Structure 1
């Protein structure tokens, strides 16, 4: 069904809801980057990541660590060596375009890396722009309303992943009503902020007109099961399904499942 069993719910003290950003990337070979502070103070971001590090150490979560600064939301990969980030990674680490690509290849063992111009400047995360639904199919927001930006994004993706199938998916942006969630950049309307697992894709929906077309295109381009999740209540805060999730597999997953069942 794609549902998580009730008995593996592990309640713990981690200081932020956006688990994607300050945890680890790539469940196959986990790496913990240094969390940036685009949406909070430097002190707050350190406290948030420290709360995760203490949690991960407590359960003996195996992971490599790097001083490179990166939010997990600005890292989209196919779990097989193809990685997408934005120019924010270059800025945060004071690297040139070619240096940034090489750093990611060296740190992660990546084969191919794309560095996109972000579609918004607050968080500048790639996971609001693209999603690998399998090892050779990449979904990207349809930016045809901004032709020059679309060209920039598509050129970088095609140059970086010459053999990948690239499919555009409709996107609509919704701004928060005045006086509601001031200071937050809404993520409502971005269906590609999806959590992709071996067998399922958990796709955020927003009760918006383009949802059904987006779901249809995603279904047509993967053999995985599509599980829509209504995220109207959380997307005004700037994230949805992928932002809320941290993915683990293998021994790390077994440790967490066992810890939950032992409680």
Structure 2
């Protein structure tokens, strides 16, 4: 598969520069992208910010897989207007000739990728409950052209069930793992056991659970440092105006010592319940 390390271009939903509450964040992000020399453009006709979820997955430079984007958490009356129709989205680069389709329901935020390995939460089985689990796994291996598919439990309170707020693959053999120490002992035991069962080298990654909520009463993504954006040799690392920001940035620079790790104020974005990986779709062009 194309990995984050391979990518050299990033797309964002056009909403990110249009929403008044994100104006300051967008100014920071635009300056940081320009400073890092990262080319970018916007996706039109989207209904929410989180383009990672509804955009296709790049397998090779010339091929993409479009999974079905129809998550259960967007089927409620409160949230159904946020669902983006993948047939209506527009990007600068035409994807039609490069696009293949899978019948599986899967959000991009629940697909952590490396060259020959992917990690997802068990939510993928719930979203595809009419499909036998082994068929789901076989389809993932086939369309993504990977050998290793690892499953971890989703967070109990997190409605999307995505893996990108929990783990990231450093490479095919190494998994960065955010700690969730405030969860129940039984869930943490299951979480730890799933990671050990992957057989990957595990590296603890900074993470903070906060009780910050937005105006709709939903928990924000403050403290979710592992949801950084990774484009080529650049790491856009979120900062949340938390006491732990400096130490988290220091740890990220240690892990990604051969990358540019650029801090980015992301507290405003986090109030919308997502962070930088959620809001970016990075590709190899």
TM-score by length of 1: 0.80
Alignment of 1:61-100 (within 5 A): 61=95, 62-78=98-114, 80-94=115-129, 95-100=131-136
Greater RCO (Cα-Cα under 8 Å, separation 6 or more): 2
Indicate the residue corresponding to 1:13 in structure 2.
45
Shift, 1:175, TM fit: 2.9
Partner-residue secondary structure (3-state), 1:184: coil
Indicate the residue corresponding to 1:173 in structure 2.
209
For 1:73 and 1:212, locate their aligned partners in 2 and report how far apart those are by CA, in whole Å. Answer: 26
Q: Report Cα offsets for 1:31-87 as digits up to 9, x if no partner.
A: 1111123442386466532322xx15x732222221110111111112x02111111
Indicate the residue corresponding to 2:166 in structure 1.
129
Shift, 1:91, TM fit: 0.7
- Which of these residues, 185, 205, 211, is aligned with residue 239 of structure 2? 205
Residues 144 and 175 (structure 1), Cα distance of their counterparts in 2 relative to 1, 3 Å cut: closer
Indicate the residue corresponding to 2:276 in structure 1.
241
RMSD: 2.6
Indicate the residue corresponding to 1:101 in structure 2.
137
- Which of these residues, 148, 156, 161, is aligned with residue 194 of structure 2? 156
- Which of these residues, 25, 28, 35, is aligned with residue 69 of structure 2? 35
Indicate the residue corresponding to 1:112 in structure 2.
148
Residues 249 and 149 (structure 1), Cα distance of their counterparts in 2 relative to 1, 3 Å cut: same
Partner-residue secondary structure (3-state), 2:88: helix
For 1:225 and 1:134, locate their aligned partners in 2 and report how far apart those are by CA, in whole Å. Answer: 17
CA contact (8 A) 1:172 1:190 kept: yes
Shift, 1:213, TM fit: 2.3
Q: Report Cα offsets for 1:103-159 as digits up to 9, x if no partner.
A: 211221121111111113411110010112344332111134444333322322232
Indicate the residue corresponding to 1:258 in structure 2.
none
TM-score by length of 2: 0.75
For 1:103 and 1:127, locate their aligned partners in 2 and report how far apart those are by CA, in whole Å. Answer: 21
For 1:181 and 1:88, locate their aligned partners in 2 and report how far apart those are by CA, in whole Å. Answer: 27
Shift, 1:92, TM fit: 0.7
Unaligned runs of 5+ in 2: 1-30
Out of 205-214 and 4-13, give the one that drifted further: 4-13
Which one has the bigger helix percentage?
1
Indicate the residue corresponding to 1:227 in structure 2.
262
Indicate the residue corresponding to 1:189 in structure 2.
223
Shift, 1:207, TM fit: 1.2
CA contact (8 A) 1:137 1:221 kept: no
Is 1:3 matched with 2:3? no
Partner-residue secondary structure (3-state), 2:247: helix
- Which of these residues, 76, 93, 115, is aligned with residue 59 of structure 1? 93
Partner-residue secondary structure (3-state), 1:233: helix
Q: Report Cα offsets for 1:157-192 as digits up to 9, x if no partner.
A: 2322x2x32111232122344xx4315331111000
Partner-residue secondary structure (3-state), 1:101: helix
Shift, 1:16, TM fit: 2.0
Indicate the residue corresponding to 2:20 in structure 1.
none
